[in-house]
Structure 1
Amino acid sequence: MNADARVAPSLVAAAETRIAAYDWQALATELDSFGCAVMEKLLSADECRQLAGLYPQEQHFRSHIHMARHGFGKGEYRYFRYPLPDLVGGLRGALYPRLAAVANRWNERMGIAMRYPATHGAFLDQCHAAGQVRPTPLLLKYVPGDFNCLHQDLYGDLAFPLQVAILLSEPGEDFTGGEFALTEQRPRMQSRVEVVPLRQGDAVAFAVHNRPVQGTKGNYRVNLRHGVSRLRSGMRHTVGIIFHDAK
């Protein structure tokens, strides 16, 4: 694994203490039932402001994307470079094992052979062996009129089936509009929409691509996409934690 991708064990341990405080049985049930689950107050207001304040600092990022140029919507985001900021890297490493347990159970139900290793470092080794070496955690910025089209964050053949977004701004104070939305397409049915209310520091874990649903004849796969509705005023920052790296 690229040494720059490694996170100090002390940082992961500190993040794990924070992550362990949540009721993961309840969160797993939410993920199973709806494809998403909210972790309230994952970050403090100060941590949110510190991360949002990184956006104009070029040295932290490997690329800068303007959504309109690619048909992704309207707004912009920056992909972090390795080494990731301590907080982002620590949370990425600490969240992964909890979500890998859900991901492995989902794959078993969907008849997918892939099983994810116990640690994020081991999973990144697999990504890098497959030529996926570019970090994918990102920092997004929206201003009035911006939105993010429904999409899936798949950056190569090897993709982890869950990801996390953390809202860094306070709705009603820093911005209005800009709701996180998740759509789910079930076979021979119209799409179901889940609008996820978040406050500053809240995180939402959600399915990247597919999840299993129990039907009358066993489990079947549903297809999910996520996006952000139009920002009506102010400025909105979000951190996205994606667990696979990109080609």
Structure 2
Amino acid sequence: MDVFRSRADRPVSDRSRTDGLLASAAGGTPALSVWRPPGVMAFGRRDVRDDGFDRAAQIAESRGFQPIERDVGGRAVAYPGETLAFAHAVPIAGASASITDRYERATETLIGALRELGADVVTGEPEASFCPGEHSIRAADGGKLAGLAQRVRADAALVSGCVVVTSTDADAIAAVTEPVYDALSVRFDPASIGSVAAAGGPATPDVVARAVEDAFADGPWGSGRCRTGRVEDGR
């Protein structure tokens, strides 16, 4: 499996990053990237088509979050700086896995990584959570801390998502998501956000990121073998 890392946590366009992952997967090699988007609000395609998008983007920018569009579906997700984004690309040619299979494998892999770190997490999400969807992970007794989405093309599939690591970021996400979702007419409860730290895991993004990398490398797509590459800004 190819693991792509940026030299620094500077803005890298979502499309530039995922294009590299998908190209690797299309050539037969699964690829993964786990990174920390610095101060961005990633809007899904449905958000961008919404009548309230311009207002939502203005609100995000006024609060220090650069609006960007991501390649997969789902609703807007804020990344204050310590929240992780991850994207995992796998080959389609010759594969028997369905969309559901990929979701299940990725969710199990992510839950396993977080539990190894001591976080008490389960599948599911509370009512009115951020980026609502059935492929979510929450603290066993608390809020949503991770969500997954998927993009499929003829030669490769991309499973991506976010992981809220710290309680500080959870508070920051709640503060910006409430007015942004209001502009998009999406229900949101600020108390629905959890974090890896609040679930009993570490409050160190790099530790969580490496655990996620290792879990995918040892999973059904990785075979424990990694080749580390780099994703540069703008490429």
Q: Same fold (TM over 0.5)?
A: no
TM-score (norm 2): 0.28
Could you say which structure has the larger radius of gyration?
1
TM-score (norm 1): 0.27
